[in-house]
Amino acid sequence: MKRLGFCALLFGALVSVIAAQSQPRTSGSERAAARPAPAIPTRTPTRTTASRTSVAPPAPGVAPVASHRLPSAAETGAPAAAATFEKYCSDCHTGARAKGNIDFDKLTDRMSATGVADKADTWEDVAHMLESRDMPPPDDADDFPTDAERAATVAWIRTSLDEYDAKYAGDPGRVTVRRLTSAEYAYAIRDLTGIDIRTGIDASSDSVGGEGFANFGDVQSVQDTTVEHYLEAAKQIADHAVIGSGPLAFYTDSGDTGLELSALDRIDRLYASRGFRAVSGEGGRPFGQERYAKAFYVAWHFAHRAALGDPAATLRGLAAKEGITGRFAEHMWDVVNRAGAGYPSSDMIAAWRAIPPPTADVAASVARARTDTDALTKKLVVWPSWFFARGDIAAGGAGDESPLVFDDSSLTVEPKHAYTYALNRRFVRPMPGQPPPAGPQLAAGPWTVHLTFDTLHKGAGTPVVVWRNPRVVLRTPASLPGPFEPVAITRARVPGPILKTFPLKDILPAEEIARLRFGVSPDGTPIGDNDFAATGPIKLEINVDHEKYLAELHTDVELGADRDAVVRVMINNRPDGVARMLGQRVFVGDPKSEGYRTFRAGIAEFVALMPPNSHGEANPADKDPVPPPFDNTYNSPEHDAFVLKVKYQRTDDFFTKNLVEGAERAALEHAWTDLLGSWPYHDAYLGMLLDHFAVTDAPRKIVEMTPARIAALPAAMQADVKKLRAHYDATTAAMTQAQPGHVADVLTFASRAWRRPLTPGEQASLRAFYRTSRTIGKLSHEGAIRATLARVLMSPAFLYRVESAPRGTELTLNDWEMASRMSFFLWSSIPDDELRRAAAAKELSDPKKLAAQVARMTADPKARRLATEFFGQWLGFYHFDEYRGVDTGRFPEFTDAVRTAMYDESVSTFEYMVRERRPVKEIIDADYTFLNQPLAKFYGLDEKLVPEDKAAKDQVRKVEGVSKFDRGGALRLGAVLTTTSAPLRTSPVKRGDWILRRILSTPTPPPPANAGTLPADDKSFEGQTLRERLTAHKRDAKCASCHLRIDPLGFPLEGFDAVGRTRTAYNDGKPVDTTGEFRDKTTIVGTAGLLGYLQKHDARVLTTLSRKMIGYALGRTPQPSDRRLIGEMVKAGGDATFTDLATRIVTSRQFRNRARGADLPPAPAPAPTPDTPTASAGVENNP
């Protein structure tokens, strides 16, 4: 008997297989008919595979056939239950007028476990009614079910559901491959490239289905136009690739400009993160000097490591702690330990060595060392400013326009200098068209003048400076230009003709003359009667009638007997201040002397060891010097041509040698190579050189500069051209060398984009594509790389969330597929490195590890996308920033800024709930919201609720305790209240429907087509209230049944107007009535009432949330086999967090598995291929 049964089954199975194979392609209509119930059900006859191949839950309408086994308890109980319903319920609950929409004719049609599960909600209601004895109603019938009948029927319902669950719960269900939505596409590109690119893949390629999300494969479609858009986008993204001498990267600008600007950006970033600058021209700000202090400290700590109780300390270890590079620490260690350093390095080194060693009180010693290293840094930073008498910001000045340069011209010394110092001149430049400034044009006296000098280098004796023939010269002040005279005033114009000259000796008081000892030199230098010699600073006071004369002090200055001395001489009105006027500060010395050479070497040493700037800007300002042999004069034609044509100059020797190393150093070299290789830099430079030397018969392209041609150039430029050519060759070589790396980088890119390791075949195919693009396609390396990138982005492996499913078995997703499902669920994008690592380590089959990943991912900033995508689509504020449904003529306050803020409010609220692990019940009744000041004002709240932040004043911020203002949670979001209104008035119907549909998931059917409408504008209500209008509408019975359910949930929100502001009265002054009255005459009032109502029905709310989450995560509609998972999620309660619920989903069977594909009904049916042409369109359209 048993054997016979088995054979019969086997035969049945064979028949079905044959039937399936021989079944011709049917038209749509036949297919549709065939879909619910295959003629011969396929069974799985073997015992060994039975457990693995648990049958997928049949589509609605499919009754599991159970001919080969004993009937289940549910099946046994069905007839009795049917009889009970027939006997006690069918009077009221059948047919078109079935009460409460419960029709036992339909329900008892399918009394299988699957049938019951399909209508589980209804059946559970039935069970509840029977148990509670609410049904049948006592007054309605004379025949009542017995207790036993009640119990048996309820038991049958429960057993049926249990049987169904036992068999099917957690079934993965049919999930159609999903294409990236436009949002996912954008996020994925962002995560892949690190930049935002507006690709033009927009919502026009999306559509929404299932639970109301765009990530639902069944409703997505593609055709050639879509593919064209993808192609354009892919090429556009590939254009943003930076293909230079380093690894493949992406940048906000595309093409060659992208290479150039990204290189500049990379250089600047490195300079900013590692370098420093104390003095700078043209408004440059100083930065990074603290790195000197840290390096000095590291050196001190290292020197005293034993005493500090840190004997194992290393320079590199300490540097890492301080946040400076190891290379820099080592360099400064060498500096402070340098023997025989010259001036001024010697001063700095001495100061470092003077820092007291640690005492027993380590903390105090360290604090002291910190103070001292800071002071030393200050000294170091200030010294160049002092030296050149500048006003750099770092030295406490107001900034210096010109850059600091140590070179032959800035370090020129003169044996003798002739000073002309204006005593009372003021340079007043009237503005064109303005009257000259009021008041005296010449400053009143007496004027204090300091003649000072500082010793920069000492020879054998004490340095002496000789002031020769000091005299006061008087001139007539030049007239100032008239108010409307064009301003062309120059310094030359100001002084008038000389009227008188007074030797200083003639006008100084006697005691001053005595003090200065005119005519006598301490070191025996011969000097005249009107001359005097000084060993230190001299202070003079001079007075002249300032209204009559313009007075000047003229004097020559020269060295005394010690010709090896180098001194800095200044005439100024301050004893120690800056002397920025031209010619006020000079270096006096003998350029031929040994002393001068020592001085120069000392400065060069200092600049090499402790420069004030670690680097010059890559893109110099126009005041920055240009390199020799070009004319370095500011605004000279050659200088300007250089700045304009050559654009970039690399002056970062110190940075390169002493600040960066290893990968950073390599990155810097790559960036410079890219910067100078991204455009014809070398040709431009060569052109400048040729022009400078007036060479007209040489090639102007660097590639054509062969050694022979270089040899034919003027000798003076050969070295430069050789260097340039070598640099060009090196640049080209570096670019070429990087090429294989780029191909490898594209493969890595592909593996990230495709969200799994590439197969060897795929790797080979991508490499082949690159090669053929170069050979057959004749593309450059760069072009071929871009083409390959575009090709990667065009692959279905990127555009679709492909999951493998060999036909026939339920399949557990592999780790990579899990990683992808998780990241698209929680981030709407591709997995990050950590998730990829976990996938590679095969951790994503371990529920504990899955939970940890979910927790990590929901806390990540990328979880904001959940707020945008999941909550936005669920609650209806998706793309609210582009919402056009408000009549801004009526509501002018509803500005774009308010709209954006409302959108941010919504997104930020849910982002906060997710990332901060708030209980999900707060979705409904949070006591906080996110506002910016304009939105607070719009809502009629005190703007001060939102702390002011000038830096980001549009940013919404969390504001607590808002429920007292009737804010907080989904229902009271401006965006939600606005989208559920008509353009000109509120709509309690839309709001009620929103709650029924989106919060309670008990939608009402659409209104009949000819349902009357209410005026779109509450101004057209002719004195009636909206409620009165709706009440009239409800008198129509066909409208009433739904409105009795919808309206009571909408009216409590009447306290908000059509753009989400609270209100107490309508436009016409009538008070707002926020009472919602249910069919049973119970009422709820206002938001409080509504929130209470929803709290009472929180299981319903949680069911909705669970269904939506499952629908969003899986990309399919929840099905009866999800009941158990939903049940668990609901049971977790309102205190559960989104992360808790997401974890349940991610660790569920349905999330971790894929249904077998083959014997599931194909849907939607593929386009039919009819045999007779003429029938085609007609049949297609007549399913």
Partner 1 sequence: MKHRRRSLDNSRRHFLRGVGVALALPWLDSLPWTAASAEAAAAGAQAAGAATAGPPLRMGIVFFSNGVEPAHWWAKGSGATMELGPAALPMLPHREDMVFIKGLFNQSAFVSTSPHLGRMNLLSGAPISLDPNVIRAGTSMDQVVANAIGDKTAIPSLVLGVEPNELRLEDGLSMIYGSSLSWVSPSKPATKEIYPSRAFDRLVGDGTGRALDRSILDAVRAESAGLKPRVSRDDHHKLDEYFEGIRDIEKRIERANKEERLEGWRPSIDKPDMPRPKNELPQNVPDHMKLMLDLIVLAFQMDKTRVATLMLNNDLSQMNFKFVEGVQGALHLDLTHNGRVADKEAMYLKTNQFHIQQFAYLTERMKNIKEGETSLLDNSILLGASSLFDGDLHGADQVPILITGKGGGTIKGGRILDYLDKGDANRKVCSLHLSLMDRMGVKLDGFGDATTRLTEL
Site for partner 1 in 837-876 (CB under 8 A): 873, 876
Tell me 170's DSSP state: T
Please select the residue that binds partner 1; options are 5, 25, 134, 949, rule is CB under 8 A.
Answer: 25
Is the preceding omega at residue 629 within 30 degrees of 0, hence cis?
Answer: yes
Tell me 534's DSSP state: E
Applying CB under 8 A, does 357 fall inside the site for partner 1? no
Stretch that binds partner 1, among 324-332, 466-474, 799-807, 1080-1088 (CB under 8 A): 799-807
Count of residues that bind partner 1 according to CB under 8 A = 110
Stretch that binds partner 1, among 492-500, 841-849, 851-859, 877-885 (CB under 8 A): 877-885
Please select the residue that binds partner 1; options are 9, 73, 152, 177, rule is CB under 8 A.
Answer: 177
**CB contact at 8 A, 735 and 263:** no
How many alpha carbons fall within 13 Å on the CB side of residue 130? Answer: 25
Applying CB under 8 A, does 344 fall inside the site for partner 1? no
Question: By C-beta, is 226 or 525 nearer to partner 1?
Answer: 226
Over the range 726-763, which residues count as b (16 or more CB within 10 Å of their CB) and which as e?
A: ebbeebbebbeebbeebbebbbebbbbbbbbebeeebb
Applying CB under 8 A, does 797 fall inside the site for partner 1? yes
Applying CB under 8 A, does 1020 fall inside the site for partner 1? yes
584/519 Cα distance (integer angstroms): 25
Question: By C-beta, is 398 or 1037 nearer to partner 1?
Answer: 1037
Amino acid (1-letter code) at residue 7: C
- How many CB atoms sit inside 10 A of residue 495's CB? 17
Question: By C-beta, is 359 or 765 nearer to partner 1?
Answer: 765
Applying CB under 8 A, does 483 fall inside the site for partner 1? no
Applying CB under 8 A, does 1175 fall inside the site for partner 1? yes
938/1059 Cα distance (integer angstroms): 10
In the complex, the smallest distance separating the C-beta of residue 210 from partner 1, rounded to whole angstroms, is 6
Question: By C-beta, is 78 or 1165 nearer to partner 1?
Answer: 1165
In the complex, the smallest distance separating the C-beta of residue 780 from partner 1, rounded to whole angstroms, is 12
What would the two tokens of residue 703 be? Answer: 């590639």
In the complex, the smallest distance separating the C-beta of residue 1151 from partner 1, rounded to whole angstroms, is 17
Please select the residue that binds partner 1; options are 66, 73, 195, 219, rule is CB under 8 A.
Answer: 219
Strands 447-457 and 566-572: antiparallel
309/363 Cα distance (integer angstroms): 11
Applying CB under 8 A, does 171 fall inside the site for partner 1? no
Applying CB under 8 A, does 1009 fall inside the site for partner 1? yes
Applying CB under 8 A, does 212 fall inside the site for partner 1? yes
**Span 709-768, contacts to partner 1 by CB under 8 A:** 761, 765
Stretch that binds partner 1, among 381-389, 613-621, 639-647, 1009-1017 (CB under 8 A): 1009-1017
244/251 Cα distance (integer angstroms): 12
Single out the residue of 1136, 1145, 1048 nearest to residue 1093, CA to CA: 1048
The CA–CA distances, whole Å, from 768 to 248, 601, 783, 788 equal 19, 59, 15, 10
* Separation of CA 152 from chain center: 62
Tell me 1019's DSSP state: G
Please select the residue that binds partner 1; options are 804, 955, 1083, 1095, rule is CB under 8 A.
Answer: 804
What would the two tokens of residue 182 be? Answer: 């436009």
Query: What residue has token string 């060398």?
Result: 737
Binding to partner 1 by CB under 8 A, coded x per residue (else -) over 765-784, reads x---x--xx---x-x-----
1141/1106 Cα distance (integer angstroms): 8
Please select the residue that binds partner 1; options are 38, 326, 481, 1007, rule is CB under 8 A.
Answer: 1007
In the complex, the smallest distance separating the C-beta of residue 84 from partner 1, rounded to whole angstroms, is 32
**Span 1154-1173, contacts to partner 1 by CB under 8 A:** 1154, 1156-1158, 1160, 1162-1170, 1173
**Span 939-978, contacts to partner 1 by CB under 8 A:** none
In the complex, the smallest distance separating the C-beta of residue 1000 from partner 1, rounded to whole angstroms, is 14
Please select the residue that binds partner 1; options are 134, 228, 256, 1135, rule is CB under 8 A.
Answer: 228
SS3 104: helix
23/29 Cα distance (integer angstroms): 15
1140/1130 Cα distance (integer angstroms): 11
In the complex, the smallest distance separating the C-beta of residue 889 from partner 1, rounded to whole angstroms, is 5
In the complex, the smallest distance separating the C-beta of residue 1045 from partner 1, rounded to whole angstroms, is 15
Question: By C-beta, is 273 or 772 nearer to partner 1?
Answer: 772
Applying CB under 8 A, does 356 fall inside the site for partner 1? no
In the complex, the smallest distance separating the C-beta of residue 298 from partner 1, rounded to whole angstroms, is 54
**Span 102-161, contacts to partner 1 by CB under 8 A:** none
Contacts of 734 (CB under 8 A, 6+ apart): 245, 669, 670, 673, 677
Q: Hey, which residues does 205 pair with through a beta bridge?
A: none
- How many CB atoms sit inside 10 A of residue 412's CB? 11
696/748 Cα distance (integer angstroms): 50
Please select the residue that binds partner 1; options are 12, 64, 77, 217, rule is CB under 8 A.
Answer: 217
Single out the residue of 567, 504, 563 nearest to residue 536, CA to CA: 567
Please select the residue that binds partner 1; options are 7, 604, 703, 1016, rule is CB under 8 A.
Answer: 1016
**Span 616-655, contacts to partner 1 by CB under 8 A:** none
Please select the residue that binds partner 1; options are 429, 709, 807, 1096, rule is CB under 8 A.
Answer: 807
**Span 878-937, contacts to partner 1 by CB under 8 A:** 878-879, 884-885, 887, 889-890
Applying CB under 8 A, does 791 fall inside the site for partner 1? yes
Q: Hey, which residues does 958 pair with through a beta bridge?
A: 930
